[in-house]
Structure 1
């Protein structure tokens, strides 16, 4: 057994008694049905090997983690003109807050809050029908993960569409400022569906490898984005990936990361590994309680941090 596998096993063992803590995202009916007593870890290193523990092969709704992939895709389509539509600053408010949009005339603070990701979905829609745009996103995630079995959980997408009143409010508010170019129903159709992608920790860790390897997929030996763009996406994940708890995550873990209310977190150790954790119970900020603790322990024990050992 490798030293890294021993570390992963140790993190799982030390947190096993806490599995089930936190509160599932019950405001999305399908997510409210998820058993909170699950916990998985997967670490994918640049040589393509995996180090896993717990429920690492159980699929879950990645939710806002998908915003990392849609941002990558939109940057490939629009380049840096994307930043005329969306900012690059931490929000300091809840992920679904409408307050800043009022002050900032409908321009979202960053691409990882809901309003920002809705703007990104609007950009991906350019020249496409919603079904085609959703297909582009799924194709990209399958490409970076090397797994054609990854799909959207349509029950989750339906559940979000039926209860996403605040997201409809955000999108309509942005549309009123001329910040969306397509009908709100089309934009949110794309947004709700990409948030409903179902992946396991193993698949998610593999999909994030291009951000750990300077923009290259080291398994497929293919370039996904430039080294500079990978660095910048990582910077945004560090600053904005956990909403108004991003500073605390950077302080405790020291790695770029993106959370989702399905209980998953994708973290990146540049030059070393891509890490995915999942436990459905959330803390007060909407981030996985046990997952965050797992990443903190793993970062401590490996010495992985963008701030030095």
Structure 2
């Protein structure tokens, strides 16, 4: 097996030289200000070693990657009854499609598209004020990363709220079917803020490591979730983690992954490592263009596809 440091260095150098970096998202104005030349990559091995390249210690908006952590919390709160309100199938449609939601009578196809994550936020809001629910989510992510400097970028959250008309429509539409228990503005307050969590690649890779370790936090040995639940979250990341580009990511990269429109991707190879990559330019499906290419090259070089013998 090649040395990880050499592989990382080669990938970072190649990504720095590429001109086809994709397009930075502009419908959230604050994200449109990010430098498209940025690239960071961190690998957190299950044995505790951590390898970094590029801008791995610069914080970025994780956006929909936060949905992995809110799903984990919601399953801990209400268990498998969550699946009465959210499906587990790939959407095959854009992450903010309202057409599919109409056809399926207010039940989102999976917890990683926007309406599904809004329902998950509604679950986490139960019994709390929005500020309390947001605090619970942030503390959980800080706990997983073992780093209290993880923060919510309130300018990004405000930018999302100011332009989140489609998300308000999705939330109100689900409420009309009885699949949202709180007022849309309260649930979306939680949703916008957890999407605005800012992390570095290093922090994100460490926060995701429990999914590579049968649900355990390897730093403490304590269980975060059961091994079965970790496997199921990984399965959802593989099949649904890249929206309508999930099949292509599984085909080319072959690992569980969750993307965000901030340009980040969290990847998991069970029993081996978790990894985080960041490159702000997106492809047509709304996933990091160079981040996807970098993980494809990494998985191939290290033989880390979960389908490899």
Whether TM exceeds 0.5 here: the answer is yes
Q: Structure 1, residues 258-296: CA drift from partner, whole Å, max 9, x if none?
A: 000000000001100001000000000000000000000
Q: Residue 282 of structure 2 aligns with which residue? A: 282
Q: Residue 188 of structure 1 aligns with which residue? A: 188
Q: Report matched runs for 1:64-79 at 5 Å.
A: 64-79=64-79
**How far apart in 2 are the matches of 1:209 and 1:142?**
13
Q: Residue 149 of structure 2 aligns with which residue? A: 149
RMSD: 0.9
Q: Residue 177 of structure 1 aligns with which residue? A: 177
1:220 CA drift (Å):
1.9
Q: Structure 1, residues 64-100: CA drift from partner, whole Å, max 9, x if none?
A: 0000000000000000000001000000000010011
**How far apart in 2 are the matches of 1:19 and 1:277?**
18
**Contact 1:152–1:198, Cα closer than 8 Å, also in 2:** yes
Could you tell me which runs of 5 or more consecutive residues in structure 1 were left unpaired when the two chains were aligned: none
**Contact 2:254–2:305, Cα closer than 8 Å, also in 1:** yes
SS of the residue aligned with 1:223?
A: coil
Aligned residues: 308
**How far apart in 2 are the matches of 1:20 and 1:160?**
27
1:14 CA drift (Å):
2.1
Q: Residue 49 of structure 1 aligns with which residue? A: 49
Q: Residue 239 of structure 1 aligns with which residue? A: 239
SS of the residue aligned with 1:304?
A: coil
**Contact 2:255–2:269, Cα closer than 8 Å, also in 1:** yes
Q: Report matched runs for 1:293-308 at 5 Å.
A: 293-308=293-308
**Contact 1:144–1:208, Cα closer than 8 Å, also in 2:** yes
1:221 CA drift (Å):
1.4
1:28 CA drift (Å):
0.4
TM-score (norm 1): 0.98
Distance 1:148 1:6, change over 3 A: same
1:19 CA drift (Å):
5.9
SS of the residue aligned with 2:266?
A: strand
**Contact 2:21–2:36, Cα closer than 8 Å, also in 1:** yes
SS of the residue aligned with 2:30?
A: helix
TM-score (norm 2): 0.98
**How far apart in 1 are the matches of 2:11 and 2:103?**
43
Kindly report structure 1 stretches of 4+ aligned residues shifted beyond 4 Å. none
Q: Structure 1, residues 108-147: CA drift from partner, whole Å, max 9, x if none?
A: 0000000000000000011011000000100100011100
**Contact 1:20–1:36, Cα closer than 8 Å, also in 2:** no
Q: Residue 263 of structure 1 aligns with which residue? A: 263
Could you tell me which runs of 5 or more consecutive residues in structure 2 were left unpaired when the two chains were aligned: none
SS of the residue aligned with 1:286?
A: coil
**Contact 2:16–2:37, Cα closer than 8 Å, also in 1:** no
Q: Report matched runs for 1:118-137 at 5 Å.
A: 118-137=118-137
Q: Residue 225 of structure 2 aligns with which residue? A: 225
Q: Structure 1, residues 15-55: CA drift from partner, whole Å, max 9, x if none?
A: 22126711001010000111111000000001221111000
**Contact 1:19–1:36, Cα closer than 8 Å, also in 2:** no
